[in-house]
Structure 1
């Protein structure tokens, strides 16, 4: 399946939990750490791991995972703080309006929603600002429009 065909959807709740647990314990094979896996893990953490604060802890979680699978976290690759925070806001925004109750339906709905698009952060950031070293290293505010702020228990 090519990117143009749309996102790779998940078969069931356990497939999503497998990704989330693999991220946390750093056992997920690197080739499975896709855009879809990033969003699935984030939604799983937000909804099923209340002891984890994604806004504070996602940097360490993803950076540690990247290093464990032989990746880097530098000025050109690996963890990107502004993109991560943008997608956390997107997950919360999606959950505020999502009516699905199963994990798989929530995640697959997110992947098909605007917040699930790979380029969704470019709705908020200019390309130059988003792909700057500063945006990779630290969360910076969008320069086009603010993230949606969902009123939700998540």
Structure 2
């Protein structure tokens, strides 16, 4: 597991929505696409954007965003399918587990919860499997334990 860190919390729900909208519009500055922004955007998409089918669309949304800010999506960098799927499962699990419905409280709570920790996927994957090219390019099932299913 990685070292513990203090997450950067959001001050207002409007900041979460603005981050999500800017990511979708591909105008979010690259340096603003932090771990916290990834999770906030995922949670926001799940609870406030029923027009977006997260399981179907999240990969393309992130890949297009990465490319728009000069990133590359390949076997060694950029979008990581298995990590993304693990965190989507974690965000859903967190929402069901806590029952939190207010956006700001939900996002900030997630950032301090086990499901919001940077190393959360390593509870289910060995490091070698999670950081393989295969896991980056496509979803691979965890080898240490099943992801939570909702």
Normalized against structure 2, the TM-score is what? 0.95
**Inter-partner Cα distance in structure 2 for 1:31 and 1:76:** 19
**Cα displacement string for residues 18-52 of structure 1 (whole angstroms, at most 9, x for unaligned residues):** 11001111010001000000000000000000111
CA distance in 2, matches of 1:129, 1:64: 25
Q: For residue 16 of structure 1, what is the aligned residue in structure 2?
A: 16
Structure 2 unaligned segments of length 5 or more: list them: none
In the aligned structure 2, how far is the partner of 1:140 from the partner of 1:52? 23
Counterpart residue number, 1:134? 134
Structure 2 counterparts to residues 49-128 of structure 1, below 5 A: 49-128=49-128
Number of residue pairs the alignment of both structures matches? 148
Name the SS of the counterpart of 1:42 in structure 2: helix
Aligned-CA RMSD value:
1.1
Say which SS state the counterpart of residue 107 (structure 1) adopts. helix
How far is the alpha carbon of 1:4 from its aligned partner? 4.7
Q: Following the alignment from structure 1 to structure 2, what is the Cα–Cα distance between the partners of residues 73 and 105? A: 32
100-109 or 37-46, which deviates more: 100-109
